[in-house]
Chain A
Amino acid sequence: MNTMEQLAHELRRAYPGARVGLDERLRADGHWWLDFSLGSNRAEIEWIPKQGFGVSVNSPAYFGERSDEFYLTVERTLERLKTLIDSGKRTEREFENFVRAIRESRKLTQTELARRLKIKQASISKMEHRSDMHISTLCAYLGKLGADVEIRAVFPDGDVKIIEFEARCSAAKTKKKKVQLRKRAKSNSVRTPERQKHETGSS
């Protein structure tokens, strides 16, 4: 019994009423798939030999999307699957999980953060569901939560602080300020006929 067959066996034992199907690989180095369904729960597990398990639970996929979460061992994969199946919850994409968790840790709602960023709540929701983000957007998001952004490369023999990213964050803030100042200057320089009359005192 290989690792994926072991996982299928464990799932069948834990959930006797479930449908567990194995989609076997053709190539020796190919990926296996396991499809699980029980009531309204759906799970797809991808086994990449020598790498680990991609897990997606109750999370419909677009064509070409990879798994939501990734685990190295069959034990950890099974544990996570059981947690999600028993609770009926879905897997989280790592990035989405991380930005939302930070906001929630500051006890801010999407609506309040949207007000601070002067954007719509729907934009915050969209931002939190994206799997990637511009550094400048992340800086703005975290900045409004009261954080400074610092990025470090962590090596076994020490860390390297990547100043380039801080410069970009500062540049994003500065650029935003410059744009605001330019807009203000432009609106001040516009001379409508009414305004000209008012300024010259003519009637």
Chain B
Amino acid sequence: MTKRERLVEFYKRLSLAPTAKDHDEAFTLIETILNAVEDELSGIPYDLAASQTDGRLYPPSPMFVRKVPGHPTVLRYRQRGHSTLIGQNGAIEIRIAETNEMIFSKHGADEKGVFS
């Protein structure tokens, strides 16, 4: 499958997954679902050492974390072209880094968004 098709599947599964109740659960949810999609559909083995050139899609890592000014309950994970924001309530947003346009969002278990 192409990267585009795999991403569609990732967003679909992430939308349908049960909501997370805190940051750690949301982080694990993204990691688990993206790795599962890539394991099943990319044909490329998980290998962090080769990740710069192997063509596999990799989830955010703790190495990418940043604070969000004015929002102490939100953490941002920067990757190429995108930022993933995760709230303490388990809510998730994925935004385009350059424009800050939101391309995916999911409420936390409290039914609130990342910034509410």
Interface residues of chain A, those whose CB is within 8 Å of chain B, are: 23-27, 29-31, 33, 35, 37, 42, 44, 46, 54, 56, 60-67, 70, 93-95, 126, 130-132, 134
Which of B20-28, B50-58, B106-114 contacts the other chain? B50-58
Query: A64 and B34: CB pair below 8 A?
Result: yes
B70 close to chain A: CB less than 8 A: no
Closest to A29 in B: B63
Query: B3 and A67: CB pair below 8 A?
Result: no
Taking A26-B66, A27-B65 as contacts, is the C-beta distance between A64 and B58 under 8 angstroms?
A: yes
The one of A30, A42, A65, A70 in contact with B64, judged by C-beta atoms closer than 8 angstroms, is A30
**Separation of A134 and B55 alpha carbons in the complex (Å):** 13
Q: Which of A26, A93, A130 has the most CB of B within 10 A?
A: A26
- List 28 A–B pairs whose Cβ atoms lie within 8 Å, in order of A's numbering: A23-B66, A26-B66, A29-B63, A30-B63, A31-B64, A31-B78, A33-B78, A33-B97, A35-B98, A37-B98, A42-B98, A44-B81, A44-B97, A54-B52, A56-B80, A62-B7, A62-B57, A62-B81, A64-B10, A64-B57, A65-B3, A67-B52, A93-B53, A94-B53, A95-B53, A131-B54, A132-B42, A132-B44
Residues of chain B with a CB closer than 8 A to A65's CB: 3, 57, 79-81
Interface residues of chain B, those whose CB is within 8 Å of chain A, are: 2-4, 7, 10, 34, 42-44, 51-59, 62-67, 78-82, 94, 97-98, 103
Closest chain-A Cβ to B30's Cβ sits at a distance in Å of 9
**Separation of A54 and B64 alpha carbons in the complex (Å):** 14
Residues of chain A with a CB closer than 8 A to B79's CB: 63-65
Residues of chain A with a CB closer than 8 A to B103's CB: 63
Query: B63 and A70: CB pair below 8 A?
Result: no
Taking A35-B98, A66-B52, A66-B53 as contacts, is the C-beta distance between A27 and B82 under 8 angstroms?
A: no
Query: B55 and A132: CB pair below 8 A?
Result: yes
Closest chain-B Cβ to A138's Cβ sits at a distance in Å of 13
Residues of chain A with a CB closer than 8 A to B54's CB: 131-132
The one of A24, A27, A62, A134 in contact with B3, judged by C-beta atoms closer than 8 angstroms, is A62
Residues of chain B with a CB closer than 8 A to A24's CB: 66
Taking A29-B63, A42-B98 as contacts, is the C-beta distance between A70 and B81 under 8 angstroms?
A: no
